[in-house]
Structure formats: C-alpha cells, structure tokens
Structure 1
Amino acid sequence: MTAALAQDLAAAPYTVEGLEEAWGRTAADALGRDDPEPALAELARRAPSAAGVLGRLLVLGDPVDGSAAAAALPRLGLDGAEALGLLRVEDGRAIPLVDVRPYALADESGVASWWIVSDQGEVALGGELPEEHVLGAGAASSTLAQVLVPTGDGVVLDLGTGSGVQALMAARTAGRVVATDVSARALRFAALNAELNGVHLDLREGSLYEPVAGERFDRIVTNPPFVITPRGADGVPAYTYRDGGFAGDGLVEAVVRGARDHLTDGGIAQLLGNWEVTGDQVAARDRVLGWADGLDVWVVQRDLLDPAQYAETWVRDGGAQPGTRRFRALVRAWLDDFAARGVTAVGAGYVTLRRPSGAPTLRRFEHLESPVGSGVGAAIAAGLAAHDRLAALDDARLAGQVLAVAPDVTEHRHYWPGDADPTVLELRQGTGFARTRRVDTVTAAVVGACDGELPVGRLVAAVAELLDADPGTTTAAVLPVVRELLVEGFLTFR
C-alpha cells in the first residue's frame, strides 16, 4: 500500500513546489506562521487539483468530500488510506487522522526530498497537542540538518528518531542507519516513512543508548527531547517528542556523556540541546564542556533566553494560547521550577563531539547569535580539520605555513566623518557561520597579504617593518589570532 501511496503523491504532484502552486506563495508563508486561513481561502477560490485536495486534507487537517479524496488517491483508494491510518471515511467525508507533507533540503550531501507522515499539529487539531504527539519535520529538524558534517558511508545512529527525519537524511550516504526511540508510536511512524520513501532503517525501541549497548558508530545524530520541563508540577504536559523525563538539562547531559562509549575513533556526534545557567556564563560554559569528558567538544550557543522567554516559547509550542488562564498557569509552573534551582537563563544551540584516537585537544564554546549562511556543516568539518592541523604546529612551524584568505571573506572599514584612518576594521564571512570579526590594523594587513604565495611569518615581519614595530612582539600578537582565523574559516591552508 505504501508503494501505491507514493505513486499517488508523486503524480499529484505532492511536493513543496506543488503545494505552493496549489495555494500560492502568500498562503505558504502564512502556514509557516501556523495560519491556515489564507490557504483554505485560496483553495476555495481555485479549481480543485490533486495537490490541493491532498494539501487541504493532510496538511491543513480539513475534511474533504470522499469522492475528491478518492480521485486524488486513485491507486491507494480510500480503503487503502484507511488501512494505513491516514484518514477515516464518515458520512461520505474523508476525515484526516495524520499529517503528511513533503519535505526537501539541500546540503553538502546534495538535494533530497521525502514525504513525512506524523501526528497532526495544532493547526489541524485547533488546540493543544496530546502528550504522545509525534512530530514531523519541524524547524529543529532543518537546523540540525544544516549543521551536520557529511555522514560518509559508515554506520550512523539516529538517537531518538521520532518520525525518522534525521535517519532518512543520514541514509542518503550511510552504509547502515540504526534509529532508536523510547516511543513505540514514533517508531511506527518512522517505519512508515522509511517504507514510503524506499529507505531501509534498523529501528529499535528503548531509552537513549540502551538499544545499542556495546555498539559503536561512525556518526551519531540526534535531535533529542531536550526541552527543560517542570517535574512533578500539576497540569504540565510531558510531550514525548520534546520532554525526555529528566530534571533540568539532564537529558542533554546524558546524551553527551554517553556518546564516548558509542563512537568509533574519529567518530562524530552532533545534537541540538538546551542547558541551564545557574551562575555566570563562564561557569555555565565549563559545566557543559565538562559533560564531554574524553571527547573533543565544540559548542555553538545560538540563543540565551531568560526564564520567562523560555517558558513562553515552549508553552506556546504545546498549543496553549497567550492570555489564557492555561497559558499563565503553565508559564508560572516553569518559572517556579527555574527559581527552585536558581536558573537565571537557558542556553540553546548545537554540540559537536568527536572521539579522538588519543587525548582530547578541542574544547570550544562560542556564542553566535547572528544569522548563519549556507554550508554550516562544511564549516564545522573544515574547522575540525584546521584545529587538527594547528594542534601539530607550534608558532615557529605555523610561521612557515602558506595561507590564503577564504573566498567568501570581505574586509569592511568604518570611518568617522573626515578621518583618514578607519575607526573599526572587520572581516566578514559570506557563508558558513557568517561571522564578523573585528581586527586591528596589523592583523588586517597580514590577512590581506595572505594570497597563497608567501609564508605567514614573512608577511608578519614585512608588516612589522612597514609599521616600524618590533617583529618579535608583532609575531607573538598576530599568530594566536591567525590560529583562530584558520579554525573559524577566514583563512585556509594552502
């Protein structure tokens, strides 16, 4: 039956582009804001199409005439759709039971598209989600996909697979994908999605690493249920897709601590996570880095939310509406929980871990709030490679390296009106993390001279001579910055 469903969806065409054509760009943008009305209004004005009927039924969650649904699913038929659990027929109407939508992305592994079946969201339900809700391909799925380094052809573990989105992504290149989840319901969706998209997954039920005890993987990818949820508070729902049942940020800690025993030498684990701040930022950083004992670790914190912001975000995510008593009660439960543990903020971002063959050498935590560019996964891979090469180079050997400015880097100068010299010098990246780094005149001159021809030590000496500065002092000041610029991707080895 899944083969027949796939044929019907392809023929519709039930794609990202096909749905946008069915209800228009404005409606598609509104759906991104969880507003279905423009799409419903546009579908009512337009001539019916297979993509429009299926979109109304399976994305908007709006019942349609049974004959229209049957026409849009000619191979599967209504009986087949009922057997797969997609809908039920009642009084001649097709009533949707799940969400089915196309999902597409382009990354370092190429362009790919799938159909993802999951539980209906709050747009279709018109209210709060049930606790056993299985999420489809949401914003977090896209974020994690964006930061993943290429998986290669090894063995990949998708920890907490949910509806199977990350496992499908990994299966494009991996030799084998093992996908686990504590929820049997989620695994049923993952199995359906794998079959619908012609992918084989090794699906296993259990909590965290329990289903893979004693096994090692070349890559671990996980979008775990990292949301920090009040424990034991009356009326607070424990959503399976986002709440791992741990107090505070214990779930993320457990995922990070367990990665070492399940990675091959050189293996990489990547995850999204939240972590609590109970002291100053340095203490919070050291606590998160400390979870990665025996591993190289690189944490990129993308947001730092105060307790109220965090609570409001996740209460809305569950479907409670701002201004209602329910919303206020849930926010208060979160605030009381944070206050009891002295939490002053919550960090959110992504973590890259690597099992080294020897002692760990990378321990990096950075806060980056600005929008990122394309190719973040490639930037992380390049940063790891640059770090490894630099770890083997003392300053004398680094001075002998020939470097070049990365092709996406530009220099920006800011002047006070009438001044001949710039007040601020900045290097900016156009891709990857799209960092902006302020530099001094000497560093800017050295970077500008890195054209892949001369060793960086000679360039530093030439700039020092030009500025009538001491060469030794200049070298000692510039080379540590050069190291950072190499890891961050502003400079590259030639």
Structure 2
Amino acid sequence: MPGYLAEVKSLIPPLALPGVYTPQEDTALLAGALSEEPLPPGADVLDVGTGTGALALQAARRGGRVTAVDVSWRAVCTTRANAWLTGASVRVHRGNLFAPVRDRSFDLILTNPPYVPTPTGVRPPRGRARAWDAGRDGRFVLDRVCCEAPTLLRPGGVLLIVHSELSDSGRTVGHLRAAGLKAAVTRRHRIAFGPVLRTREDWLRECGLLSADAADSADEKEELVVVRAELPL
C-alpha cells in the first residue's frame, strides 16, 4: 500500500484549484493501464473528465496529441495551468462529456467518470461532488460513456474506463461488447472505503450494493476496476 500511495502522489500536478478532484487511487489505477498501452508518437488521445489533467499530462509526455475535456471551469483552468507549468501540449475544452469533440476521432480515450452510487433525494452535486456522485446505481455517467465513446474511436482504438465494482463492471463490459468492442476488466485494486462511501454504508446495504452482513466500516473495502475496450480493425 505505501508504494501505491507513492504512485498516487507522483501523479499530482503542480496546481489544483479548490473544488477540483485531485488524483486518488482510481487515477493511479487508470494511469497504470495507460502506461501499458502502446502509444505511438502523434496518437490522438482524449481525456474525458480530466480534473487536474494528471492523465492528460501523462499521455502528452509519451508523445500523444492530447485533448482534455471537463464540465467544470475550475478543472479546465487547472489543467491549462498545469500544462503550461509542465510544458505539456494539451488542448483543453469545457463541455459535457464528448460534446466538444463529436466531430473528431481518437486512438485512445481515457475516462475516470463519476461512479459513486448516490441516494435518491441527495441534492444535485456541486463542487468536487460532481466528480463522484452518479445516481442511484452509480451509472448516470457510465452508461452515457458506454454509449457515446465507441462512436469516437478509430479502428483499433482503445477506451480505458476506471470505476468501482459497486457500479457493476459486468454491465460496463456488456454495453461495450454490444457496441461491437472487445471489452474486459484488465485491472483490479481493493481500497478502504473513503469518507463518502463510509457515510453511505447503511444505504448501500439497504439497496443490496453491499452485503447485509454486519461489518466494521474501518475494514470495509471497495474494489476499483479498469475496463479496457478495443474497436476491432
């Protein structure tokens, strides 16, 4: 675990404005998957929900032509500043998921979307909560990604998504296979519940997303997954 936390720390860019999601264990898991992808110089890469731009910067360092998108103006400003501070070439757009790039196609799409199941009646997410709250089953954004991302991939292109097993990786894989992609879970990592999930444990048990057996919240674990999907040539 200490080594993994060091990996998370290494991903944190120079700047993060208040309210912008900073790299966590899910970012590190996706970064590991990115590091294993062949990325020839000049490959077109899209980072959706870029936050601080950590993954966009990593792809740019490997020679990709990187475009980053986020719905948050603070995230857009943070990523632009981090690209300038690190000398990375990243085009950054503000927009809702794929809206700013619908006329383009990509060799690689990365996304760490909101995926935390959220009780009905919780007010619409604001600030940093927009980076994790994702509806009752955690799939409010994931299902849109599964529907829209395949249309932006070039033949042989790859989509990498990270999310929690609480939001059903099997459903993600199924949607992507139905869209004609070869999809599978390629990485898994278990982490202790963070502050958000600890406040929702009782509700998660009530709706069947966690075992109904009593458990010490300090020992409760969440499994993060990376789903890799490739559009056949």
- Aligned-residue offset at 1:348: 3.2
CA contact (8 A) 2:138 2:167 kept: no
What does 1:48-197 align with in structure 2 at a 5 Å threshold?
104=10, 115-119=13-17, 133-148=19-34, 149-153=37-41, 154-197=43-86
In structure 1, distance between residues paired with 2:125 and 2:152: 33
Would you say 1:350 and 2:226 are equivalent positions? yes
Closer, same or farther in 2 for the Cα pair 1:141/1:192, shift >3 Å? same
Would the aligned equivalents of 2:50 and 2:111 in 1 still touch at CA under 8 Å?
yes
User: Structure 2 length as normaliser, TM-score?
Assistant: 0.76
Structure 1 match to 2:146: 256
Distance 1:239 1:354 in 2: 30
Residue equivalent to 1:220: 109
Which amino acid in 2 is paired with 1:291? Answer: H
State the Cα distance separating 1:276 from its structure 2 match: 4.5
Whether 1:206 and 2:92 are equivalent positions in the alignment is no
Query: Tell me, which stretches of 5 or more residues in structure 1 are unaligned?
Result: 1-28, 34-101, 106-113, 121-132, 279-283, 358-494
- State the TM-score, normalized to the length of structure 1: 0.38
Q: In structure 2, how many angstroms separate the alpha carbons of the residues matched to 1:229 and 1:213?
A: 29
Selected match of 2:159 from 238, 256, 269: 269
Inter-partner Cα distance in structure 1 for 2:90 and 2:224: 29
Tell me the amino acid that sits aligned with residue 118 of structure 1: A
User: How far 1:344 sits from its partner (Å)?
Assistant: 4.9
- The match for 1:291 is 175
Change (3 A) 1:277 1:218: closer
In structure 2, the CA distance between the partners of 1:304 and 1:229, relative to structure 1 (3 Å rule), is farther
Structure 1 CA distance for aligned equivalents of residues 142 and 181 of structure 2: 15
Aligned to 1:241: 131
| Equivalent residues of 2:125, 2:133 under 8 A apart | no
SS at 1:348 equivalent: strand
Question: What RMSD, in angstroms, separates the aligned Cα atoms of the two structures?
Answer: 3.3
Deviation at 1:299, TM superposition (A): 1.3
**Partner SS for 1:141:** helix
List structure 1 segments (4+ residues) > 6 angstroms apart after TM superposition.
234-238
Larger radius of gyration: 1
| Alpha-carbon spacing, 1:230–1:193, altered in 2? closer, same or farther (3 Å) | same
Separation in structure 2 between the aligned mates of residue 139 and residue 266 of structure 1, nearest angstrom: 28
Equivalents in 1 of 2:123, 2:183: separation in Å? 37
The answer on whether the counterparts of 1:162 and 1:190 sit within 8 Å (CA) in structure 2 is: yes
Cα distance per residue 1:214-251 (max 9 Å; x no partner): 31101111222222222323698770222346753232
1:230 corresponds in structure 2 to 119
Tell me which amino acid in the other structure corresponds to 2:175: W
What letter is aligned with 1:351?
A: V
Q: Which has the higher contact order (CA 8 A, sep 6+)?
A: 2
Match runs of 1:399-478 below 5 Å? none
- Partner of 1:144, secondary structure, is helix
The answer to whether the Cα contact below 8 Å between 1:218 and 1:268 also exists between their aligned partners in 2 is yes
* Structure-2 change in CA distance of 1:195 and 1:255 (3 Å): same
Aligned equivalents of 1:264, 1:240: Cα separation in 2? 29
Cα distance per residue 1:5-39 (max 9 Å; x no partner): xxxxxxxxxxxxxxxxxxxxxxxx7xx69xxxxxx
CA 1:140–1:277 in 2, change beyond 3 Å: closer, same or farther? Answer: closer
Q: Deviations over 1:410-466 (max 9, x none)?
A: xxxxxxxxxxxxxxxxxxxxxxxxxxxxxxxxxxxxxxxxxxxxxxxxxxxxxxxxx
Structure 2 gaps of 5+ residues are 212-221
CA 1:185–1:247 in 2, change beyond 3 Å: closer, same or farther?
farther
Q: How many residues align?
A: 213
Query: Aligned letter for 1:198?
Result: G
Report the 3-state secondary structure (helix = DSSP H, G, I; strand = E; otherwise coil) of the residue aligned with 1:353: strand
1:248-296 Cα distance to aligned partner (Å, 9 max, x none): 3232232223221010000111121124479xxxxx73x3322112101
1:162 Cα offset (Å): 0.4
- Counterpart for residue 217 of structure 2: none
Quick one: distance in 1 between partners of 2:63 and 2:39? Answer: 6
Query: How far does the alpha carbon of each residue in 1:383-432 deviate from its partner, in whole angstroms, 9 at most, with x for none?
Result: xxxxxxxxxxxxxxxxxxxxxxxxxxxxxxxxxxxxxxxxxxxxxxxxxx
Provide, for residues 340-379 of structure 1, a one-character-per-residue CA deviation record: whole Å limited to 9, x for no partner. xx5456763111011112xxxxxxxxxxxxxxxxxxxxxx
Residue 149 of structure 2 contacts residue 159 of structure 2 at CA under 8 Å; is this kept in 1?
Answer: yes
Q: Which amino acid aligns with 2:28?
A: S
Q: Secondary structure at the match of 2:14?
A: strand
- Report the equivalent of 1:400: none
Q: Counterparts of 1:201 and 1:164 in 2: how far apart (Å)?
A: 9
Q: For the structure 1 residues 301 and 194, does the alpha-carbon distance in structure 2 shift closer, same or farther, using more than 3 Å as the test?
A: closer
